Amino acid sequence: MPPIGDGPTFVPSSYTIGARLGSGQTSHVYQAEHPVFGTVALKLPRPELSARPVLRRMFENEVAITVKLAHRNVVSAYDGFPTGEGAFLALEYCGGGTLDQHLLERGRLPLERCFELVIDVAEGLAHTHSRKVLHRDVKPANVFLTEQGQAKLGDFGTGLFMGEESEERVGTAFYMAPEVFEGRSAGVLSDVYSLGILAYEVIGGERPFVGDSFDALMVAHHTAVPKDLRRLRPGLSNSMARIVAKAMMRDPQKRFASAEEFAKAVRAAAGLPAPGAAAAEPADAPLTGRSSRSDPRAQATSEREAAAKAGARDEDGKREEPKRRGPFGWFRRDK
């Protein structure tokens, strides 16, 4: 297919340009073919970047960051050059579109599918952090789906290497952590907050905080109480709702300490096996994994395991549900 409009003024050698897939702040994205890489998403800087140093730096950052990441849940970079008239970035082509498009088209997804998507994003973000990179704009529009339905975190234009100084307040207000609104530096915990907002939206089918302006959203993130996820999804377990609420806590120190910790908690509550775990289990093995979700004993087991950290124990060693008011007031009593 020919490119839309006049097409790019520069195309790196060995790439054949096809349709324009979309445009962002810093680049136009084209479907392209390469003799070795096959079908790719080719990012080419917008012409105006030559006169806009902040946007130019964002594109350079995206190239520098993306080529350092390699994980099944991160969009792969095949090739790239960060600066000058020959700048480009060739990325893995994800034929399933973006997660926000998927949610818009499909509406509320089956819970099992929701958990799989949330875990994919969390594990991609955990890898990103392990490589000392902050994403700073985790949201469904920056998650890409393969044709097989696997979710991959991408679009690192607002990314930052840990340790680099930045006074910029970047991100998308629907997903931005309260401390970032306040002007404090982004960090791992602010990325975890954005991940929690994404998880709420994927599972609940709507955003937890809404507003018609940046200021209105800032107030909402600081003061509003989101709807109880269990009311939006009646089949959702208490433990899963509690996990999402913890990721969204306003106090950064009360959130999960890492995206990896969050991913493990979601897996446990959903009864999903760890990556690489054997599919078959002996008949007398603990009831966990995909095949056991229809068994009520397995659901009870996984919920108890995931909720163990939140529960106390009485004098006889039996677990008690916490009596304190939970995150956002959702858990004063179980329904």
- Annotation says 137 is catalytic: yes
Q: How far apart are the C-alpha atoms of 191 and 122, rounded to whole Å?
A: 10
Q: Are 208 and 174 in contact (CB under 8 A)?
A: no
CA 240 centroid distance within chain: 17
Three-state helix/strand/coil letters over the chain: CCCCCCCCCCCCCCCEEEEEEEECCCEEEEEEEECCCEEEEEEEECHHHHHCHHHHHHHHHHHHHHCCCCCCCECCEEEEECCCCCCEEEEECCCCCEHHHHHHHHCCCCHHHHHHHHHHHHHHHHHHHHCCEECCCCCHHHEEECCCCCEEECCCCCCEECCCCCCCCCCCCCCCCHHHHCCCCCCHHHHHHHHHHHHHHHHHCCCCCCCCCHHHHHHHHHHCCCCCHHHHCCCCCHHHHHHHHHHCCCCHHHCCCCHHHHHHHHHHHHCCCCCCCCCCCCCCCCCCCHHHCCCHHHHHHHHHHHHCCCCEECCCCCEECCCCCCHHHCCCCCC
- Spot the catalytic one: 79, 137, 155, 191: 137
Which residues are known to be catalytic?
A: 137
